[in-house]
């Protein structure tokens, strides 16, 4: 599963000292050989109820859009991932940040975000589900 892979990669990035948001975005781009058009960054915690409710949605989006969307999860309550809360300037969890292919933020949402709203946003950006 990509989310687990990203957690491992983000832990490794933390160990080597990825110090800025630009560095983190560069790391994401390097890791994505797929050429995703949008990166969906979920900032939350595995111990937060609304964040837990986002887990199946992230998996569904990942499966539904394939290589068009890269889903990244940061557990900002973990010591090695707290820095992402500061870098993305989040106020509460969960927070979803969507980045274009250049790493520019194109949308942000705080709190639980229903899958239908994510689908609408992605399709407005020209993405098409490969799997319903």
Token representation of residue 109: 């949402």
Render pLDDT for 59-103 as a digit per residue (tens, 0 to 9).
999 999 999 999 999 999 999 999 999 999 999 999 999 999 999
Written as one string, the DSSP assignment of 39-73 is EEEEEE-TTSHHHHHHHHHHHHHHHHHGGGEEEEE
Is residue 28 scored above 60 in pLDDT?
Answer: no
Structural domain boundaries in the chain: 2-124
* CATH homologous superfamily of 2-124: Glutaredoxin (3.40.30.10)
User: What is the percent of the chain with per-residue pLDDT over 70, rounded to a whole number?
Assistant: 73
Confidence category of residue 1, pLDDT binned at 50, 70, 90? very low
């Amino acid at each position: 599963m990509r989310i687990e892979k990203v957690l491992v990669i983000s832990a490794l990035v933390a160990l080597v000292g990825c110090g800025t948001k630009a560095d983190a975005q560069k790391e994401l781009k390097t890791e994505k050989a797929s050429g995703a058009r949008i990166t969906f960054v979920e900032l939350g915690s595995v111990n937060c109820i609304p964040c837990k409710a986002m887990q199946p949605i992230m998996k569904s989006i990942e499966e539904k859009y394939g290589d068009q969307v890269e889903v990244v999860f940061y557990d900002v309550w973990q010591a090695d991932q707290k820095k992402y809360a500061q870098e993305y300037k989040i106020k509460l969890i969960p927070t979803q940040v969507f980045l274009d292919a250049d790493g520019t933020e194109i949308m942000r949402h705080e709190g639980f975000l229903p899958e239908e709203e994510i689908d609408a946003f992605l399709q407005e950006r020209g993405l098409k589900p490969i799997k319903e």
